[in-house]
């Protein structure tokens, strides 16, 4: 009897747990639907689109996460796609009278900043106004804001215009102290991604290429500021060399970089005057998030689709959603290839590279896709090394003038931790059946014959990379080798040497895809598909919460943490850029 009661109680408890789980899912579902339906935003007359530029910029950000529903999602990450679409909608919608740029601490690379700036310049053709305000203008935000009709700054603020520098970190000394030797295998005079592990300063070749590409990026930035603000490039460089506008706000006005000084509280009054409304309350501000639920007024209903496939981050093996994983993207590309409604694909690549093997798998999928329909690559901030590998066989390649691309080279790193193990008192011994049975052992240095085998393997990988690029770009292999060698180029430079076909933004690439597919009317669809709130909650909350916590805690140092994590997890053979460039 006692056993029967125990079993009965256990069964009842199990039922209650199951019912509780189902009730929890039910209420979460209701909350998700309620949240989604209540999140619709309706535009009213005299609305101003507010671009609050803070945090970091990504190509796309997943909307409606569970953290949004709880009200815990600080705007620490903005999606480039959301910003661009908000500006486009604002241009065509009569209820929106202008744009207010509220610039803060915004982390973005030069090509993305230019893409936003170009979209703002296009918006101005509508005759609507753009005003910009900041307490402190960072260099990147000022570059973007300089396109505005009116540039306003806090009277106690400053404007940071200082130029561009690249400052890589070198780990050789640290590794020597802890007893770790990085055994390096590479091809390419300029393949500098391995330099931090084998040198204590930049090589002459690396300094040459970095000087060339940051100089070209800075030239683009200064020429566009010069055009908008009617200040000579020479004067802009003089101001950058003196840091004068950083010292005191009045100098920014005197030198013509800023139009007027005003506290943020006065900006709404200024907007009120522009809108010619009686009350401040009649000035309505719509955020980027608000605009995501506002439809395009003239959206095509054509059944012919141009797909935009976004690929952002490092290239790795696997099927995960972090970065560009080969199995996941091969699957996405195959779906687009087999979808008869999709007439062309724009492959949006924003990657410094990664696994050479994974890059080859994605290259093959793109090649197969190209046999059935046009594929146009749109390069973002980076499409270098592995990022160029997966792009090189597209029908056409479009880059921004300050995209970092090329870096056609391969390297491999293999640690020898013998020194570390000796420091902590560990020793090792082994027996083996064959000469190379212990090949790859970390606790001893490689023999000369093993190094020769690995170097040959790396050289074969470089030759394959060259072959892929030579065939894709229709450049003789010998000629390509001269501009490869791991060298990084800007989009401007890449156009001159034949690595890309044209300069422009994502819209330029879409227009090119439409021409190749002979489409006069088409609809656009983005891939991979963004998940909704319900899917987001049940997919990977642990990963989302961990990532969000790390970003909050580390701030701008999160990118360094991510790079170290990727180095730890990466394949032995890499096609990767050395480091990222941000305009701050």
Residues annotated as catalytic are 191, 385
Distance between CA atoms of 46 and 271, rounded to whole angstroms? Answer: 10
CB 484 within 8 A of CB 406: yes
Among 215, 216, 223, 256, CA closest to 239: 256
Distance of CA 407 to the CA centre of its chain: 17
Q: In whole angstroms, give the CA distance from residue 72 to residue 65.
A: 10
Q: Is 85 left (phi over 0), alpha (psi -120 to 50) or beta?
A: alpha
Check: CB of residue 545 under 8 Å from CB of residue 552.
no
Structure tokens, 318: 């696997």
- DSSP E strands in 352-506: the ranges are 353-355, 375-384, 396-399, 404-406, 410-416, 488-490, 502-503
What is the rounded CA–CA span in Å between residue 75 and residue 52? 9
**Do residues 273 and 164 touch, judged by C-beta distance below 8 A?**
no
Backbone angles phi, psi at 567, to 5 degrees: -60, -40
Where are the strands (E) in 417-493, listed by range?
488-490
From the list 552, 550, 555, the residue with the least C-alpha distance to 565 is 550
3-state secondary structure of 476: coil
CA distance linking residue 220 with residue 227, whole number of Å: 11
CA dihedral 404, 473, 323, 106 (to 10 degrees): 20
Asked if 332 and 365 touch (Cβ cutoff 8 Å), the reply is no
Q: Which two tokens stand for residue 117?
A: 């700036």
Helical spans, DSSP H, in 308-355: 326-338
Four-residue CA torsion sign, 557, 559, 562, 563: negative
Running DSSP on this structure, what letter comes out for residue 447?
A: P
* CA–CA dist 226, 233 (Å, integer): 6
């Amino acid at each position: 009897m006692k056993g029967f009661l125990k079993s009965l109680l256990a069964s009842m408890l199990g039922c209650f747990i199951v019912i509780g789980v189902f009730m929890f899912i039910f209420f979460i579902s209701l909350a998700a639907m309620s949240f989604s339906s209540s999140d619709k935003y309706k535009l009213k007359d005299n609305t101003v689109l507010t671009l609050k530029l803070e945090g970091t910029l990504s190509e796309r950000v997943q909307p409606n996460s569970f953290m949004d529903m709880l009200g815990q999602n600080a705007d620490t990450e903005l999606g480039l796609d959301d910003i661009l679409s908000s500006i486009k909608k604002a241009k065509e919608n009569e209820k929106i009278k202008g744009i207010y740029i509220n610039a803060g601490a915004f982390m973005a690379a030069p090509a993305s900043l230019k893409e936003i700036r170009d979209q703002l310049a296009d918006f101005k053709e509508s005759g609507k106004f753009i005003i910009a305000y900041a307490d402190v203008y960072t260099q990147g935000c000022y570059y973007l804001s300089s396109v505005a009709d009116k540039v306003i700054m806090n009277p106690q603020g400053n404007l940071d215009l200082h130029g561009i520098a690249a400052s890589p970190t070198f780990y050789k000394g640290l590794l020597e102290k802890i007893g770790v030797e990085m055994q390096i295998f590479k091809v390419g005079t300029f393949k500098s991604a391995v330099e931090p592990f084998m040198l204590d300063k930049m090589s002459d070749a690396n300094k040459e290429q970095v000087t060339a590409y940051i100089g070209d990026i800075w030239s683009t930035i200064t020429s566009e500021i010069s055009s908008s603000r009617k200040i000579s490039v020479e004067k802009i460089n003089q101001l950058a060399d003196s840091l004068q506008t950083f010292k005191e706000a009045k100098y920014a006005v005197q030198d013509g970089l800023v139009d007027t000084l005003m506290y943020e509280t006065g900006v709404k009054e200024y907007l009120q005057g522009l809108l010619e409304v009686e009350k401040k309350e009649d000035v309505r501000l719509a955020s980027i998030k608000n605009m995501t639920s506002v439809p395009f007024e003239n959206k095509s209903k054509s059944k012919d689709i141009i797909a935009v496939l976004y690929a952002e981050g490092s290239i790795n093996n696997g099927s995960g959603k972090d970065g560009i994983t080969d199995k996941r993207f091969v699957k996405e590309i195959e779906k687009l290839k087999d979808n008869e409604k999709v007439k062309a694909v724009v492959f949006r690549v924003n990657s410094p590279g990664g696994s050479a093997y994974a890059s080859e798998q994605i290259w093959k999928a793109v090649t197969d896709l190209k046999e059935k329909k046009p594929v146009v690559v749109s390069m973002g901030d980076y499409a270098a090394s592995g990022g160029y590998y997966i792009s090189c066989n597209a029908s056409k390649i479009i880059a921004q003038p300050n995209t970092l691309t090329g870096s056609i080279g391969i390297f491999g790193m293999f640690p020898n931790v013998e020194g570390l193990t000796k420091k902590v008192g560990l020793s090792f011994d082994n027996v083996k059946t064959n000469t190379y049975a212990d090949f790859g052992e970390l606790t001893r240095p490689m023999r000369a014959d093993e190094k020769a085998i690995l170097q040959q393997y790396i050289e074969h990988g470089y030759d394959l990379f060259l072959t892929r690029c030579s065939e894709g770009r229709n450049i003789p292999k010998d000629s390509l080798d001269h501009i490869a060698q791991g060298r990084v180029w800007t989009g401007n430079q890449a156009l001159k040497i034949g690595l890309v076909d044209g300069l422009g933004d994502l819209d330029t690439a879409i227009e090119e895809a439409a021409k190749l597919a002979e489409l006069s009317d088409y609809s656009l669809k983005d891939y991979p598909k963004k998940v909704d709130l319900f899917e987001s909650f049940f997919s990977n909350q642990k990963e989302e919460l961990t990532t969000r916590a790390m970003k909050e805690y580390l701030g701008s140092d999160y990118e360094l943490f991510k790079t170290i994590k990727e180095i730890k997890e990466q394949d032995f053979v890499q096609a990767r850029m050395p480091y990222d460039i941000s305009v701050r």
